[in-house]
Amino acid sequence: MRKINAYRHKLNTMIIKIIQTTVFIFTILLCTKMTSRGQMNNFVVNKVAVEENGLVGFLHLPKVQRKLPGVIVIGGSEGGVFRAEQVSDSLASKGYVCLSLAYFKIGTLPKVLEEIPLEYFKQGIDYLKARAEVAKGRIGLIGTSKGAEAVLLLSSYYPDLSVAVVANVPSHVVWQSVSFTEPKSSCLFHSCRTVKPRERAESQTFMRAD
């Protein structure tokens, strides 16, 4: 039984890596196609590290003298911020102020994708909204794979914070974390811990991988 479980774990890990690579390539191609339509300029982009109030990521600022739409880009189960950076670089060169936001497996953030607070992502939205370079009321969210789950969940809890949501390879439900140990949700609305037990149970529902 242990050998079977070990084999299943290796197989699941391999499948996840294949999906991550495929999704990443698709996202880059999609963003390139979207931003290449029309006669859009390729702006020079300044990239600034963001490490404040618990946030970890990069701010991608096009060099242009006007307010621009803002986009928060969230990667998937690979963790870190590299793939979100690649998408943000592409979008920023076409005139979007982007925040590539990490949420686990980097710096002081959680080591595994498990019960990530939705409030963390909201904090990222608030940070981008407060930037002088971002046009008022023009914030979008882009998430890939596990990040797609997060942006859909985020927009359902905070529907007034964004005007557009792009979910690349999403799911209609929140699945469990990819640690394959004790089943826990990937994301969690931590404020639900202050509500009634029944409401809390409903708000924390997720799909088990088995």
Residue 87 pLDDT? 94
**pLDDT for 130-152, tens place per residue?**
999 999 999 999 999 999 999 99
For residue 176, the cross-strand partners are: 185
pLDDT of residue 21: 53
For residue 119, the model assigns a pLDDT of 94
Residue spans of alpha helices (H) in 37-188: 82-92, 118-129, 146-157
Residue 189: what pLDDT?
Answer: 81
Average pLDDT, the chain: 80
User: Residue 190 above 60 pLDDT?
Assistant: yes
Token pair of 61 as six digits: 């600022």
- Which strand (E) or helix (H) includes residue 48? strand 45-52
CATH number for the domain running over 2-203: 3.40.50
d(CA 187, CA 164): 20
Q: What is the pLDDT of residues 151-188, one digit of tens each?
A: 999 998 888 888 899 998 888 788 888 776 778 888 88
Name the pTM for this structure.
0.76
| 39 pLDDT higher than 80 | no
Tell me: pLDDT of 37 over 60: no
Count CB neighbours of 8 within 10 A.
12
Token representation of residue 192: 């639900």
Q: What is the pLDDT of residue 161?
A: 84
Which residues sit opposite 190 in a β-bridge?
Answer: none
Question: What's residue 94's pLDDT?
Answer: 92
What is the per-residue pLDDT for 163? 85
